[in-house]
Amino acid sequence: MKGILLAGAALLTIAASPAHAVTHTWQGDLFVTAITETNPGTSCATVNQRVGNFGRGIYRPRALGDNGGRDQFALHYPNASFHVLVTTATKLHGATAGTLYTMFGSGGFNTVSNSTISNSTTNPVNPLIGTQTIAIQTTIHNVFSGGNPVVPSGCHITLTGTLAKKP
């Protein structure tokens, strides 16, 4: 009888526990489709960026499950990655600034507040949990500033791609 009561109490505890929240992400390849440079021919070469580069993009739109109140976006290359937390708006679509977290080879980890982003679009603008693909285009300014986040790289890349829903 004691075992049945303990088992019943355990089931009630489990049933009363809050459900684990789920994050919703979309992933796929994003390509550098355009570059502009402060010093043409030098700025992007210095930080190893060129048209045709691609990386694994991950997009986590706001307000879906446990995704939080702001869009988050990341791009992972074989030797570097960056993560953008949108700060001027809650959505990547139309945002003009974000906090940019970068890891670049042996250059370490940098945080650049109020990094400029522009021409950001997502289609659909407000994805739902059941949305299967999201098209993204965005321009990230001064990407991969290397070991010194105070000195902008002068390399601005436009990324374009379509990401698929991940379970």
CA separation for the pair 162, 10 (Å, rounded): 45
Residue type at position 80: A
pLDDT tens string 8-62: 333 333 333 345 568 899 999 999 999 999 999 999 988 888 999 999 999 999 9
Round the average pLDDT of the chain to a whole number and report it: 82
- The answer, yes or no, to whether residue 130 has pLDDT greater than 50, is yes
DSSP state of 75: E
pLDDT at 157 exceeding the cut of 50 = yes
Query: Whole-model pTM?
Result: 0.81
Q: Which residues pair with 139 in a beta bridge?
A: 118, 158
> Which tokens go with 55?
């990386």
* Whether the predicted pLDDT of 159 surpasses 60: yes
Q: What distances in angstroms separate CA 27 from CA 96, 126, 142, 163, 165, one per listed residue?
A: 22, 16, 23, 5, 7
What proportion of the chain, given as a percentage, has pLDDT over 70?
81
Question: Could you tell me where the beta strands, DSSP code E, fall in 105-147?
Answer: 109-123, 133-140
Mean pLDDT, range 61-88, rounded to an integer: 88
Q: How far apart are CA 24 and CA 135, in angstroms?
A: 16
Confidence check: pLDDT of 109 > 80: no
Q: What is the pLDDT of residue 165?
A: 96
**Tokens standing for residue 94:** 């139309």
